[in-house]
Structure 1
């Protein structure tokens, strides 16, 4: 769920150097622990270093809405290049105070059961096993902040829940179908930790995406990470972007980056705001902290509009950007088929898959992400530098570099054609263009003509 209103040089010398080189920012190969970031203390599983992530909405993915039906799509998802599968909540959904016909995925009635609408325990175990056989990793959504009103814990342990001054149990925010836990109760914490371990031990899942992670105390997550890692190396994604989350989580949401992209398309921001965001990100997060980059997800799709509603003809350009900057790119259910409808949140509303017409585009980018170390995640990946183009309010040109590997993306983030006048020498060299396969030697003074929302991605 998304919370809805979610000194070696003087300054003059430094500016001169930046103007001469054409570099507007460059991330160094070192952890940055300024601000609130006592971060990146977790050890990322080695397998996560170059992967991308796919969010699966089981209810809407197929007409059947089952794990068995979903299993048939696993080879296609593997071929797409999304090796981490984030499964939206698999638990039974509460009936009491339910919203709509089928209820919210995030209203958990039983933390140790599979939603019978999706199948049986054995069906889910088989799904995870088949995913692993294909080299895929499975993480499931976890709702630790609140439960359904008819979760058995409400009656058996009412003291485990938060209450107002009159003793009435509390719903978080305006989520009237759920009731909030009280993490000051040690027994409640022990139960939740045991439930987290249950799915790793019994279903062999590879980790969790944790809903509204910032509403749960950090020390709970820190303990949970240690105990889960003692079973097997897990991958943890926090729905939140507190730098402090990275003491327990591998990855956090890049919500701010997402909102910057939306504002650029609306004309409220320019390409320069991408550079500002990346500098801010560098100062707040450790170099090894994974950030999840996205143009859509289940919250955005259902409540704020599809990527086509929000980004229009810039959808491809903005996704090229999410792959080019530091972070792990996300694809949400239906995105690879250019789905342009808001999926119902509380009702059955299957994806209309069509011919998967954007699969080739996403597959090409994610293959580059997986195979070029410059784009790997966290400290496995490369540094970044912005290259000036003479039209920096419209064009974002970014160089990623790791050892002898490079990715140089030149992206027009505007609705008008523009010419990039490449400045400096940092990017100079021989490249292959990703989408055409053409070879070229780039140097200072070269000009690249880009149509509205156009892009070029060069690599070596």
Structure 2
């Protein structure tokens, strides 16, 4: 015989729960987290439920009463709001509700015409229940409860007068808040790891500090942390929160790759010269390894100054954590067991046929896990001590899962504010498991979702898994220039920016996107021509701004809208609405507990005007089907009167999207069917 024997009442399908409780669910400070469960019992007596919510220090919040919601009669919900970082726990407690049972029985019997004699036992039961509550009540309520109990026993009154004092609205509200709980049945206890808000919401900007050097006589010079800091005010002005830097360590000199390496997957015919800077992901040389700064960028003190300047501007630094090594990395000599040796005695370099990366040695985690794990933790703490609290992890899906679980939670034991972004463009099972075991955020398949159906399906999938997987929608990366940007023209850059910034609470841009960089190294490739991964790529920011050839003001406005509307900082409330034109996408987000909602309609066609009619699910917005409401387009300032059905016309060359803010008449809840 298996299973729990103490389940006096029924509790099933508790959420949020990850892998049957094997991993923690996720939330951020201040987030409205819905806790749901199916609660039921035998017979006809009333059942109720509470959420027991416990803080990391063991402090228990007051019981949070659950309410029925949705179309299933036994589904219950309550919302909890964590106020600090750390490991919270919750459980659901089901209980028999004798007050509700009594209330229902008395009303039904009176409606059926039964008299006081037939209700004698019911009246006495009610009086005893009220006296039980009065025993723990303050003097004011104790008196009212005692009077109501006395009225139930007063045979000189008619039946309705005896019952009425116990059924007043005020007394019923008090009894709802101070119930009689019997047959209390707890669920197992589940964990929720609560991060700081940046784990859910933020705008990322990626750039290479080495490309921020001056151009002298038409020749780019290597940038430093000091020259890169000059770029930070412009990034802050565009409204970005996180500055992501590719690896800043010494770059290998052995088998170094040259410009446009991607054009020659089998090898680069370019003869590498002294001015070829190589790939930052080919980490390590005689100048140091993962714990060192590339000498052409500056010193560790210079990096700290860069971090400080970023903070002064209201942003923070995310640093790349790439666990791989160049052939001349110090690890190769000191710890050859950390790599894979082939039968001929050489160390295996990275391959993704037909691509060959002779400049990179993958790390083998199986030969000396204890030593390698300790070294990686040491390296991470070096950069934490330098002020880094966010790590963008390169290719985590090529490393063991148990390693990441160990590393992430080892860091969070002492520094719960440190965040980890998984750059895992891989199979769904691996991507989701990395999220379950501890990664704060994940890159996604957004870049390759361009048609309405696939965007809607993917958005729903991410929203449904918001309790453990948080997406980061990058519109482009140094590795990914999608064909939609190659051939869609400037309007497509706006379209993709709107989609990324409005669909996901966290989104990102790789430098050059705002200049409409769109030329691939060859047809059919997603690699940039003159990829910044292999060469310096200075950009004429001032010239582009003077000529009006920059998307920077548009990105600034999108980030302003995101900051002004808490609804856009949510994931689980994402809802798609029908439109009768497949080239138009309509979706909304709401902010639980407030009156903020945003409705977005965007064209997916960057070439032609599109016309359609929306069919909005108004209850999702907290509105009745017949209601009209005012909306303001946050991109243009235009105002409209909308209802369920609305005519939309979007010209991509003028403005490809409506981003509409709604002034809702009441606070919204999530799920929207909660009652």
Normalising to structure 1: TM-score of the pair? 0.83
Residue of 418, 436, 441 corresponding to 2:610: 418
Size of the aligned set, in residue pairs, is: 412
Residue of 315, 318, 322 corresponding to 1:143: 322
CA–CA separation in structure 1 for the residues paired with 2:388 and 2:587:
36
Q: What SS is found at the alignment partner of 2:350?
A: coil
Deviation at 1:412, TM superposition (A): 1.2
State the match for 1:265 in structure 2. Answer: none
Q: Bigger shift: 126-135 or 352-361?
A: 352-361
Residue of 279, 284, 288 corresponding to 1:104: 279
Q: Aligned pair 1:89/2:269, yes or no?
A: no
Query: Is contact 1:92–1:114 with CA below 8 Å preserved after alignment?
Result: yes
Let me know the Cα RMSD of the aligned residues.
2.5
CA–CA separation in structure 1 for the residues paired with 2:405 and 2:487:
36
Q: What SS is found at the alignment partner of 1:317?
A: helix
State the match for 1:182 in structure 2. Answer: 364
Q: What SS is found at the alignment partner of 1:298?
A: coil
State the match for 2:585 in structure 1. Answer: 396
1:95-140 CA-to-partner distances (Å, cap 9, x unmatched) read: 0111122111101101111011211111111101111222211111
CA–CA separation in structure 1 for the residues paired with 2:570 and 2:468:
8
CA–CA separation in structure 2 for the residues paired with 1:133 and 1:372:
24
Deviation at 1:59, TM superposition (A): 2.0
Cα distance 1:36–1:294, how it changes in 2: closer, same or farther (>3 A)?
Answer: farther
Query: Is contact 2:390–2:418 with CA below 8 Å preserved after alignment?
Result: yes
State the match for 2:438 in structure 1. Answer: 248
Residue of 112, 118, 123 corresponding to 2:302: 123
Residue of 309, 326, 350 corresponding to 2:486: 309
Q: Bigger shift: 335-344 or 114-123?
A: 335-344
**Relative contact order (C-alpha < 8 Å, sep 6+): which is higher?**
1
State the match for 1:50 in structure 2. Answer: 201
Q: What SS is found at the alignment partner of 1:163?
A: coil
Cα distance 1:181–1:424, how it changes in 2: closer, same or farther (>3 A)?
Answer: closer
State the match for 1:212 in structure 2. Answer: 395
Deviation at 1:161, TM superposition (A): 1.0
CA–CA separation in structure 1 for the residues paired with 2:608 and 2:556:
27
Counting only pairs closer than 5 Å after superposition, residues 155-234 of structure 1 correspond to structure 2 as 155-173=333-351, 174-184=356-366, 185=368, 186-201=370-385, 203-229=386-412, 230-231=414-415, 233-234=417-418
Query: Is contact 1:433–1:459 with CA below 8 Å preserved after alignment?
Result: yes
Structure 2 unaligned segments of length 5 or more: list them.
1-14, 27-191, 215-221, 259-275, 426-430, 520-527, 622-627, 663-675
Counting only pairs closer than 5 Å after superposition, residues 16-31 of structure 1 correspond to structure 2 as 31=16
State the match for 2:660 in structure 1. Answer: 458
Residue of 446, 470, 473 corresponding to 1:293: 473
Q: Bigger shift: 212-221 or 156-165?
A: 156-165
Query: Is contact 1:200–1:231 with CA below 8 Å preserved after alignment?
Result: no
Query: Is contact 1:272–1:396 with CA below 8 Å preserved after alignment?
Result: no
Deviation at 1:286, TM superposition (A): 3.5
Query: Is contact 1:81–1:363 with CA below 8 Å preserved after alignment?
Result: yes
State the match for 1:66 in structure 2. Answer: 224
Q: Bigger shift: 48-57 or 119-128?
A: 48-57
State the match for 2:598 in structure 1. Answer: 407
Deviation at 1:86, TM superposition (A): 0.8
State the match for 2:42 in structure 1. Answer: none
1:28-75 CA-to-partner distances (Å, cap 9, x unmatched) read: xx7485899956465322344432111121222343421101112222
CA–CA separation in structure 1 for the residues paired with 2:252 and 2:21:
37
Query: Is contact 1:296–1:331 with CA below 8 Å preserved after alignment?
Result: yes
Cα distance 1:276–1:425, how it changes in 2: closer, same or farther (>3 A)?
Answer: closer
CA–CA separation in structure 2 for the residues paired with 1:444 and 1:46:
33
Q: What SS is found at the alignment partner of 1:289?
A: coil
CA–CA separation in structure 1 for the residues paired with 2:393 and 2:193:
16
CA–CA separation in structure 2 for the residues paired with 1:213 and 1:417:
42
Cα distance 1:35–1:424, how it changes in 2: closer, same or farther (>3 A)?
Answer: farther
CA–CA separation in structure 1 for the residues paired with 2:254 and 2:379:
22
Query: Is contact 2:373–2:407 with CA below 8 Å preserved after alignment?
Result: no
Counting only pairs closer than 5 Å after superposition, residues 376-387 of structure 1 correspond to structure 2 as 376-378=569-571, 383-387=573-577
State the match for 1:79 in structure 2. Answer: 237
Q: What SS is found at the alignment partner of 1:205?
A: coil
State the match for 2:421 in structure 1. Answer: 237
Q: Aligned pair 1:322/2:480, yes or no?
A: no
1:75-98 CA-to-partner distances (Å, cap 9, x unmatched) read: 221221111111111100000111
Cα distance 1:446–1:232, how it changes in 2: closer, same or farther (>3 A)?
Answer: closer
Cα distance 1:178–1:37, how it changes in 2: closer, same or farther (>3 A)?
Answer: farther
State the match for 2:536 in structure 1. Answer: 348
Query: Is contact 1:237–1:249 with CA below 8 Å preserved after alignment?
Result: yes
Cα distance 1:34–1:434, how it changes in 2: closer, same or farther (>3 A)?
Answer: farther
Deviation at 1:199, TM superposition (A): 0.9
Deviation at 1:340, TM superposition (A): 4.5
CA–CA separation in structure 1 for the residues paired with 2:204 and 2:378:
26
Query: Is contact 2:321–2:393 with CA below 8 Å preserved after alignment?
Result: yes
Q: Bigger shift: 346-355 or 364-373?
A: 346-355
CA–CA separation in structure 2 for the residues paired with 1:281 and 1:37:
20
Q: What SS is found at the alignment partner of 1:383?
A: coil
CA–CA separation in structure 2 for the residues paired with 1:70 and 1:77:
11
1:367-422 CA-to-partner distances (Å, cap 9, x unmatched) read: 111221111155xxx5021111211x211100111131111111111233222212
State the match for 1:259 in structure 2. Answer: 448
Query: Is contact 2:18–2:468 with CA below 8 Å preserved after alignment?
Result: no
State the match for 2:331 in structure 1. Answer: 153
Q: What SS is found at the alignment partner of 1:397?
A: strand
CA–CA separation in structure 1 for the residues paired with 2:466 and 2:556:
29
CA–CA separation in structure 1 for the residues paired with 2:17 and 2:504:
14
CA–CA separation in structure 2 for the residues paired with 1:42 and 1:65:
39
State the match for 1:360 in structure 2. Answer: 553
Query: Is contact 1:218–1:245 with CA below 8 Å preserved after alignment?
Result: yes
